[in-house]
């Protein structure tokens, strides 16, 4: 079982969510972590399940400088891939995540679940992230 956590975060909130996933997967699956603000990610085929994380940016879109270019380059390879989507937001109502889930489903990905957190992840978000990490291991 090989998993990846692929995220962008500008002020650390989505990164904190990635860390919850990483802690849960640690020791249970081989897990590679990619912070796409400083690393590239171009090989989804190498993983059984991938957790993607992006904050809501622009007007309810994925982080535009790093995450969106990476994601649009690889999304055609997500057909049949198990994915989890997560990210932090501020003043919206999660529209970016609903759009992103729909986009992944249209790509043919198997969306196992999504987690959103307003600002830093609260207890509920942490618990949802732990549950989804467990799903990724199945």
Ligand X SMILES: Cc1cc2nc3c(=O)[nH]c(=O)nc-3n(C[C@H](O)[C@H](O)[C@H](O)COP(=O)(O)O)c2cc1C
Q: Where along the sequence are the contacts to ligand X (CB under 6 A)? A: 9-15, 55-60, 88-92, 119
Q: Which C-beta is closer to ligand X: that of 80 or that of 91?
A: 91
Q: How far is CA 83 from CA 10, 20, 65, 112, in A?
A: 22, 16, 22, 6
At its nearest, how many Å lie between ligand X and the CB of residue 23?
17
Structure tokens at 111: 């969306």
At its nearest, how many Å lie between ligand X and the CB of residue 17?
8
Residue 130: exposure state from Cβ atoms within 10 A (0-12, 13-18, ≥19): middle
Q: Which C-beta is closer to ligand X: that of 30 or that of 122?
A: 122
Q: Which C-beta is closer to ligand X: that of 44 or that of 87?
A: 87
Tell me how far apart the alpha carbons of residues 88 and 32 are, in angstroms, rounded to a whole number. Answer: 21
At its nearest, how many Å lie between ligand X and the CB of residue 20?
13
């Amino acid at each position: 079982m090989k998993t990846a956590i692929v995220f962008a975060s500008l002020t650390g909130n989505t990164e904190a969510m990635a860390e919850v996933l990483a802690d849960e997967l640690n020791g249970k699956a081989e897990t590679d972590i990619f912070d796409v603000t400083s690393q590239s990610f171009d090989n989804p085929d190498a993983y059984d399940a991938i957790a993607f994380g992006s904050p809501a940016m622009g007007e309810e879109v994925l982080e535009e400088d790093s995450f969106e270019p990476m994601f649009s380059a690889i999304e055609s390879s997500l057909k049949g891939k198990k994915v989890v989507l997560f990210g932090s937001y501020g003043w919206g109502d999660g529209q970016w995540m609903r759009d992103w889930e729909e986009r992944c489903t249209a790509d043919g990905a198997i969306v196992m679940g999504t987690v959103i957190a307003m600002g830093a992840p609260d207890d509920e978000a942490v618990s949802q992230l732990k549950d989804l990490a467990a799903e990724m291991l199945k």
